[in-house]
Structure 1
Amino acid sequence: MSVTYEIKVRWGDTDAAGIVFYPNFFKWMDEATHEFMLHLGKKSSEWITQDNIIIPLLQTTCEFKTPLYFEDEVIVTSDVVNVGNKVFTLEHLFTRNGELIATGKETRAWTSFGEKLKATPLPEHLKEIMYAL
């Protein structure tokens, strides 16, 4: 099962030609990841305040297929493609009316920030949820 996140392109997301400025795809992948975290059982802010867990970005990529424009409605579909001991990778597919616009990936570390930042093993029950999404 996938997690979806909907976006409507705003004027401020575009360049002078009305085409989405590429860093916005990375912003939207980040937003989609936080939506994904909600499906693990808590808002990102709750993971931070209740569990001292953050998910820093280790690596990201994005491949652009076709432009997006002002007022386009976009769906970002996020799927887990890898779960390691302390890291996980999400793939994000950007579509507009069923057309693939871009694909991106993010690898993040499950990180505790008690006394110092430290990558921590993902709890087994969360790995199970990730695989089920």
Structure 2
Amino acid sequence: MECKNQFVVPFGDTDAAQIVYYPNYYRYMDQATHDMFKQNDLSLKTLQNEKQIIIPLLEATCKFKTSLQHEDIVTVHSMIERVEGKVFHIRHEFKKEGDVLVAIGQEVRAWVSIAQASPKAIEIPEMIKRKMKGMDEK
């Protein structure tokens, strides 16, 4: 499962030097994950409301290669790299004009049921694993 999102860096995401303030990359990754699931017919809102499933973040990292600035056009290419039992790993590559690699982000997320009183990580269903691995059509 993967997707590409493109946007223009807004002024409000930058510091006084008009460079993107680093926490915004984590916000971009979170949005890219939500978009990837929605584009693959797994809307997180629907999963939560109809299946009582959420995908909380367990770990996030980002390695910065160069900076993004106000009005840069950035493309975030997100893909699920690994699916293991109750967790999955997502890679996010940030590139700006000229295919310049800006940053590489990683997320680890869990497949969690909220059907009971207390949230509990559960095995990712086989059908979902197949979709995540790109073995299923949309």
- Structure 2 length normalisation: TM-score? 0.92
Structure 2, unmatched stretches of 5+, are none
Corresponding residue for residue 62 of structure 2: 62
- Structure 1 length normalisation: TM-score? 0.95
CA distance in 2, matches of 1:107, 1:14: 26
Corresponding residue for residue 108 of structure 1: 109
1:37 and 2:37 correspond: yes
Tell me how far 1:88 sits from its aligned partner: 0.2
- Aligned residue identity for 1:88: F
Corresponding residue for residue 78 of structure 2: 78
Deviation string, structure 1 residues 74-106 (Cα, Å, up to 9, x no partner)? 110011111011000000000012110000000
1:132 and 2:97 correspond: no
- Aligned residue identity for 1:108: R
CA RMSD, 1 decimal: 1.3
Q: Which moved more, 1:42-51 or 1:17-26?
A: 42-51
Deviation string, structure 1 residues 31-72 (Cα, Å, up to 9, x no partner)? 000011113423211111011111000001000000000011
CA distance in 2, matches of 1:12, 1:95: 20
Residues paired across the two proteins, number: 133
Runs of 4+ in 1 over 6 A off after TM superposition: none
Percent identity between matched residues is: 41
